[in-house]
Structure 1
Amino acid sequence: MANVDVSISEFPTSLREINLGNNKFYGNLPRWMGNVSFLERLALSQNGFEGSIPMEFCNMDRLEFLDLSENNLFGSIPSCFNTLNIKHVHLHGSRLSGPLPIAFYNISSLVTLDLRGNNLTGSIPKWIGTLSSLSVLLLKDNHFHGEVPVQLCKLDSLNIIDLSQNIFSGIIPSCLGNLTLPTETNKILTSWGTSPSLTGDGLPKITLGVYVDYFYLGSYFEEVIEFTTKSGFLPYEGNILSYMTGIDLSCNNLTGHIPPELGNLSEIYSLNLSHNKLTGVIPSSFAKLHQIESLDLSYNNLSGEIPNQLVELNSLEVFSVAYNNLSGSIPEKAQFGTFIENSYEGNLFLCGTILHKSCSKIDSPSMISTVSEDKGEDGLIDTYDFCVSFLVSYVAVLLTIFAVLYINPY
């Protein structure tokens, strides 16, 4: 293990790039890095750094890429990042706390904001709509609450949203269906030079990019975005990243119906609304999601039938509506003929070959309700008839007794 306590004199101020990621450094983040005036890219991820993020880091006004993820950092995020021209921020996998700071307010250059896996709290502020270049927003696995803000709908460049594993409540904004989910090459980090060589441990060597007589000796950086899709947690990078689009709102407390407007997201590849409290039917407008490869609506309170129009989704590879209140027959044409039983389990009134249930032998909830109502009505009729018959018989017996006593009082 190595404790980083290096004098600024040991590093030239002409550094443009410092990559100390995936090593075994520990201790506090070195404050002197804030004095490296030419620094544009700083990666210190996957180490044992602890403590808070130094305020001196806000002095790096040329910084475009910052990766401090997977360390033991704690405390709040400094509120001064909005003075920078930063494009990519990776702070996931630490112990950062507090609300989403004003630090990122009105940063028109910000493309990636990755704050997954921290202890951040509060709601998403309305100023999120000022991040005009934001393409990737990852807030997964924190303690955010409140409603999903409609200001997200104003972000024309947004195409990957992960708000899963939080405490968001309220309805899904229908305006999310207005997002164009454009192909964004801006979220790919431009590389300089060649790939870094590896050490004997298979770890990348420390790389430093330095100006030498105005000629840049470059190294290699690559933007990697991790996103859950197709039932797996997958990294996306390079050209694939530029085309990836997805929305993950799973594992929250969202309620209400699924907005039919989400069917307008014709360029989306992955949509996950599972593990919420959503009600109503599956919108037939989802048949317009022509690019979608993964659709997860499981663990909600959805009812009605699975729309037959969904068989038009020829790119769909992973589909789940498990543990809802769906009924009727399962579509079995096209891609739907390839899905397994797990995709539908936990729906008592679904039927079809995949579930080994004949639809002719299964009554839907509405049928059962009707039968129950009919039985109830029959019960009322039987009770009424009995009461009338009993009353008539009782009166007849009394009249007979009176007649006998009238004729022969003894």
Structure 2
Amino acid sequence: MELYIFPVLVILSCTSCYLILPVQPLCHKDESIALLQFKDSLTANNSASRGPAAYTKMASWKAVENGTEADCCSWDGVKCDENTGHVISLDLSSSCLYGSIMSSSSLFSLTHLQMLNLADNHFNYSRIPPELGRLSKLTYLNLSSSFLTGLPSEISLLSNLSTFDLGYVNVSSKMPDFLVNLSSLTSLIMRNCGLYGEFPEKLFHLPKIQVLIFQVNSNLTGHFPEFRSGSPLRTLWFSRTNFSGIIPFSIGNLESLEFLSVARANSLQLLDLSNNLLSWITLPKCLENPNNLLSVLSIKNNSFHGTIPQMCLTDRSLLKMIDLGYNQLEGRIPRSLANCQMLESLNLGNNQIRDVFPSWLGQLSKLRLLTLRSNNLQGQLTNLNSTPQFPN
């Protein structure tokens, strides 16, 4: 008899395997209804989205499909939790949506949402509803280029928010202080939002912040703080703002920094990015502005490529020190440097510059230190003992 017991047990065990296979849960009825109501509150308009891959994602949203109740988890742009069936992600970017999002929108009943992307649609300049703060599980929120306006303080309730993109949204307000309460932020993008007032220094020190993008807010004032060691900051983009003061030496503490742009930040007085590993970075266009207030520029010992920008386009430049040594800069030495009448120190050494020896720099009467070593300069050192000559 014992010879027959074992196979019987195996058969029973395998049969039970089929009985406990998990079944993918369908979308919850109330969430399916909420999504369909949100769809009905908007219209499809091909001109509402500008992205090359735009299409009407909501066209696939139907209450009944093939004679049976549709599963909203299979709709375009909708993702559900595999275990609970709750809608956790809604990606309606570039979906050709037109209309206003009201405070009563059924969208705000989807309280399990972790990701919401409404970018590149046209919401008819409606204000961002404060009810957005109900979606407390959001970690990703993208409202960029959506023709929404304003920014309610209830956003500060989104304590789990990691990425927040409001690019090209017409906020048109004083820089919101409540954003400093979003302690989980890693990326905050508010380019061209019509912001004004003082940029809160605490945003630079959020514990997880990696990306701050605020370019094209011309009335946004502020300054760069003393940066702490261990900061995860990777991107600082503040071009075309009204930031002033200096970029502190402590920017060297930002060991993860990959991108810095302060182009047209014309009130900067000191820019020191020396002794880092920077390569993908834009040199400030304010260097080419004759009205900039920069007196010290040091980016030595990095991996910058490209040509040296035209500096000192007029003799009103305040530059006293330029240190571009130990990079991979190419091309010629810009002749506009002859206008740097306040220049005391110029270091272009250890680059890949190809030019003739710049004897014309001898007309800079205050120049005390000139370093050109380890480049590809040609020509003879002549007329150094007669006018024009370098000072002793």
For this structure pair, what is the TM-score category when the shorter chain's length is used for normalisation? Answer: 0.5 to 0.7
Inter-CA distance 135–318: structure 2 relative to 1 (3 Å threshold)? farther
Could you tell me which runs of 5 or more consecutive residues in structure 2 were left unpaired when the two chains were aligned.
1-45, 47-55, 79-83, 369-392
Q: Pick from 53, 56, 66: which aligns with 2:106? A: 56
Comparing 42-51 and 352-361, the one that deviates more: 352-361
Could you tell me which runs of 5 or more consecutive residues in structure 1 were left unpaired when the two chains were aligned.
22-35, 184-244, 368-410
Inter-CA distance 279–153: structure 2 relative to 1 (3 Å threshold)? closer
Equivalent-residue separation in structure 2 for 1:86 and 1:340 (angstroms)? 51
How far apart are residue 355 of structure 1 and its match? 7.9
1:298 counterpart letter in structure 2: K
CA contact (8 A) 1:17 1:42 kept: no
Match of 2:285 in 1: 298
The one-character-per-residue Cα deviations of 1:374-401 (angstroms, maximum 9, x if unpaired) are xxxxxxxxxxxxxxxxxxxxxxxxxxxx
Match of 1:255 in 2: 244
Match of 1:198 in 2: none
Match of 1:32 in 2: none
CA contact (8 A) 2:61 2:76 kept: no
Match of 2:87 in 1: 39
1:48 counterpart letter in structure 2: C
Q: Pick from 329, 334, 356: which aligns with 2:326? A: 334
Match of 1:269 in 2: 258
Pairwise CA RMSD of aligned residues?
3.6
- The question of 1:348 aligning with 2:349 is answered no
- The question of 1:139 aligning with 2:190 is answered yes
CA contact (8 A) 2:307 2:332 kept: no
Q: Which has the larger radius of gyration?
A: 1
Inter-CA distance 3–337: structure 2 relative to 1 (3 Å threshold)? closer
For residues 8-407 of structure 1, what are the structure 2 equivalents within 5 Å?
Answer: 9-10=63-64, 15-16=72-73, 18-20=75-77, 38-54=86-102, 55-73=105-123, 74-84=125-135, 85-98=137-150, 100-175=151-226, 177-178=227-228, 180-182=230-232, 245-283=234-272, 286-299=273-286, 301-304=292-295, 306-307=297-298, 310-313=299-302, 315-317=303-305, 322-323=310-311, 325=317, 327=319, 333-338=325-330, 348-349=339-340, 357-358=358-359, 360-363=361-364
Equivalent-residue separation in structure 2 for 1:17 and 1:318 (angstroms)? 49
Equivalent-residue separation in structure 1 for 2:361 and 2:61 (angstroms)? 79
How far apart are residue 249 of structure 1 and its match? 0.5
1:334 counterpart letter in structure 2: Y
2:304 counterpart letter in structure 1: L
1:10 counterpart letter in structure 2: V
How far apart are residue 158 of structure 1 and its match? 0.6
How far apart are residue 15 of structure 1 and its match? 3.6
The one-character-per-residue Cα deviations of 1:70-107 (angstroms, maximum 9, x if unpaired) are 11122111112222201111111122112x22232132
More strand, by proportion: 1
Task: Count matched residues.
Answer: 284
- TM-score, scaled to structure 2: 0.61
How far apart are residue 115 of structure 1 and its match? 0.8
1:104 counterpart letter in structure 2: I
Equivalent-residue separation in structure 1 for 2:261 and 2:286 (angstroms)? 11
1:41 counterpart letter in structure 2: S
Inter-CA distance 295–51: structure 2 relative to 1 (3 Å threshold)? same
Equivalent-residue separation in structure 2 for 1:145 and 1:317 (angstroms)? 34
Equivalent-residue separation in structure 1 for 2:203 and 2:324 (angstroms)? 36
Equivalent-residue separation in structure 1 for 2:307 and 2:257 (angstroms)? 14
- Structure 1 consecutive aligned stretches of length 4 or more whose deviation exceeds 4 Å: 1-8, 11-14, 318-324, 326-333, 339-342, 344-347, 350-357, 364-367
How far apart are residue 148 of structure 1 and its match? 1.2
How far apart are residue 162 of structure 1 and its match? 0.4
Matched position secondary structure for 2:243: strand
Equivalent-residue separation in structure 2 for 1:64 and 1:262 (angstroms)? 34
How far apart are residue 262 of structure 1 and its match? 2.4
Matched position secondary structure for 2:167: coil
Matched position secondary structure for 1:80: helix
CA contact (8 A) 2:306 2:328 kept: no
How far apart are residue 62 of structure 1 and its match? 0.9
Equivalent-residue separation in structure 1 for 2:185 and 2:332 (angstroms)? 37
Inter-CA distance 260–4: structure 2 relative to 1 (3 Å threshold)? same
Equivalent-residue separation in structure 1 for 2:215 and 2:281 (angstroms)? 16
CA contact (8 A) 1:129 1:155 kept: yes
Instruction: State the identity %.
Output: 19
Equivalent-residue separation in structure 1 for 2:170 and 2:232 (angstroms)? 31
Equivalent-residue separation in structure 1 for 2:228 and 2:86 (angstroms)? 40
Match of 1:209 in 2: none
Equivalent-residue separation in structure 1 for 2:175 and 2:70 (angstroms)? 37
